[in-house]
Chain A
Amino acid sequence: MKKKELGIVISHEQLTEDIFSLRLEAGNIAEEAVPGQFVMVYSRDSGKQLGRPISLCGIDKEKNQIRLVYRVTGPGTGTEEFSTLSEGERIFVLGPLGNGFPLEKARGKRLFAVGGGIGIPPLLETSKQFGEPVTAVLGYRGGALFLKEEFEPYGEVLIATEDGSAGIRGNVLDAIRNHAERPEMIFACGPMPMLRALASYAEEEKIPCYISLEERMACGIGACLGCVCETRETDPHTHVHNRRICKEGPVFLSTEVVL
């Protein structure tokens, strides 16, 4: 039987004012996980009943470790509590959950891994495991360019910042359009306006584009039907037009969902 696992904190560092990088020893999760999947992380405060869905930024099968890079969403939140975890402490984690990015479909293609803000982390392990050169397109508001250097071993890195403090001033789509080479496949994760813009660009250009979605969820395993997204075709569960982000997703082909 699968179950919640007690992850042991191996290291924890602060990357920016509100973004943290947590490495956990969680053997069963590391063993099974693929890039683009996520885990539910549970607060130690029983007043907070629901897990926090957090994407996998790193998977180390040899060391039985996973890495979570997450944003503290505000005072008194579960993520704020997570940010106080120190080495050796334990926390309950459930996973790996969801489907992940379809690396096989990108083989031999010019893959662009496009991340915006806290959508960047899952693309790091995706780029690493792809094993072929990847063009990473990373969008930030400005300030600290977290994880940027870690993408550099896997290919070219394009940066877009809203304030123009690094890379081009603008968004990830501006960076893609500015670039000499056109993507043949896109994997993306980020805020909904970014995903909408990318999806419409990809549809115009006829480029397959896989996007990772997020939504408020309760169970994380496909039972509560809290985290659905509208799809063009009928879904396998309810036979309406609602796929479960936690189960059939979080990664969808951009043309199969209504954003």
Chain B
Amino acid sequence: MSKTSVQIAGVELKNPVMTASGTFGSGQEFSEYVNLNRLGAVVTKGVANVPWPGNPVPRVTETASGMLNAIGLQNPGIDVFCSRDIPFLRQYDTRIIVNVCGRSEQDYCEVVSRLAEEPVDLLEINVSCPNVKEGGIAFGQDPAALEHITKEIKKHARQPIILKLSPNVTDITVMAKAAEAGGADAISLINTLTGMKIDIYRRKFALANKTGGLSGPAIKPVALRMVWQAAHAVSLPVIGMGGIASAEDAVEFLMAGATAVSVGTANFHDPSATEKIVSGIEDFLDRQNIVDIHEIIGIL
């Protein structure tokens, strides 16, 4: 069998397949459908310093080969998260990556500090959520703000940090470089693309939030292009995501320069998607006589 393990900022993952934040909760609901031990890492839904109720409904709607969501980062806050979700994930032989969200710099730093003593492997900093008014994407569309917040979070973080980048920018390489300059240990991309849908019979927006984040196979070519650009712009490890629905999709991202990949909307199409993609990558490597997955990472 081929070697599938990869390293992100010194943390070894048994394989490069992880979950995309927000599509997998903290793994509990999906654990009935997926053997979590098979995954390289579980990336949790974003957690803030206090509980967030999220946006009004409708929060999701289907679009051609994808969907829009505007959940608004509903989450139970760091206290419940640490007492319930982390112990749950510790039962499994998989890496734990906690996605951190906030409305202000202090919010992010508070959560990151709170996680310092927790048994989690990596932190993913969500500076790219398009669906909340404050924080989130405000930090992710301005390179100076991104560099600054990265530096500040880095002062408080015990674990390596991954900056999750927004595709809603003119030049992704500028943002990738800003994260690197701020001291990020890795970057992940892409978060969702801001979109809209209108119900013409009701003459209303399909989402209560009016706009939402577009995800799913529809965005894969855009995501792949941005991952390739970012991977060539910085020397940090890149975690690629955006519309990955099959092992073949995942391999494309690896070849474009991603060290690991996240599976998101595909989890809604098939709750077993992540595990199927792990098996599919193993089969691909075997069939292609690839001894080590690094033989294909970043070959383009």
Q: Which A residues contact B (CB, under 8 angstroms)? A: 1-4, 42, 46-51, 92, 94, 215-229, 237-242, 247
With A1-B33, A224-B22, A228-B54 already in contact, the answer to whether A42 and B59 are too (CB < 8 A) is no
Q: Other than the known A50-B268, A218-B67, what 16 A-B pairs have Cβ atoms closer than 8 Å?
A: A1-B33, A2-B271, A4-B272, A48-B62, A49-B66, A49-B67, A49-B217, A51-B269, A216-B61, A218-B265, A219-B23, A222-B29, A223-B29, A238-B53, A238-B76, A240-B76
- 28 residue pairs from A and B, CB less than 8 Å apart: A1-B34, A1-B35, A2-B32, A3-B33, A4-B270, A42-B269, A47-B65, A49-B62, A49-B216, A49-B269, A215-B57, A218-B265, A219-B268, A222-B25, A223-B25, A223-B30, A224-B23, A224-B25, A225-B54, A226-B60, A238-B52, A238-B74, A238-B80, A239-B51, A239-B76, A239-B80, A240-B53, A242-B74
* Closest Cβ–Cβ distance, residue A235 to chain B (whole Å): 9
- Please encode chain B, from 46 to 72, with 1 for each CB lying within 8 Å of some chain A CB and 0 for all others: 000001111001111110111101010
Q: Which residues of A contact B270 (CB under 8 A)?
A: 4, 92
Which one of B24, B60, B65, B272 contacts A3 once the chains associate, using CB atoms below 8 Å?
B272
Asked whether, in the complex, the Cβ of B76 is within 8 Å of the Cβ of A218, the reply is no
Interface residue from A42, A229, A240 paired with B74 (Cβ < 8 Å): A240
Smallest CB-CB separation from A47: which chain B residue?
B65
CB distance from A224 to the nearest CB of B (A): 7
B267 contacts the other chain (CB 8 A): yes
Q: Are B69 and A224 in contact (CB under 8 A)?
A: yes
Q: In the complex, what's the smallest C-beta–C-beta distance from A71 to chain B, in angstroms?
A: 15
| A4 CA / B266 CA spacing, docked (Å) | 13
| Interchain CA distance A22-B245 in the complex, whole Å | 29
Whole-angstrom CA separation of A247 from B245 in the bound complex: 25
Chain A residue at minimal CB-CB distance from B75: A238
State which residues 67-101 of B face A: CB under 8 Å. 67, 69, 71, 74-77, 80
* Pairwise interchain contact A218-B77, C-beta atoms closer than 8 A: no
Q: Which of B25, B32, B53, B62 contacts A241 (CB 8 A)?
A: B53
Do A50 and B54 touch (CB < 8 A)? no
Chain A, residue nearest B23 (CB) = A224
- A4, A46, A49, A240 pick with most chain B CB within 10 angstroms: A49
**Which residues of chain A are near B25, meaning CB under 8 Å?**
222-225
CA distance A203 to B155 in the complex (A): 55
Asked whether, in the complex, the Cβ of A237 is within 8 Å of the Cβ of B76, the reply is yes
Distance to closest chain A CB from B67 (angstroms): 6
Question: Smallest CB-CB separation from B79: which chain A residue?
Answer: A239
Q: From residue B79, how far is it (CB to closest CB) to chain A in Å?
A: 9
Residues of B within 8 A of A94 (CB): 271
Taken together as a complex, chains A and B put the C-alpha atoms of A225 and B29 apart, in Å, by 11
The reply to whether B272 and A218 contact each other, CB–CB distance below 8 Å, is no
Smallest CB–CB gap between A74 and chain B, Å? 8
Give complex CA distance A94, B69 in Å: 21
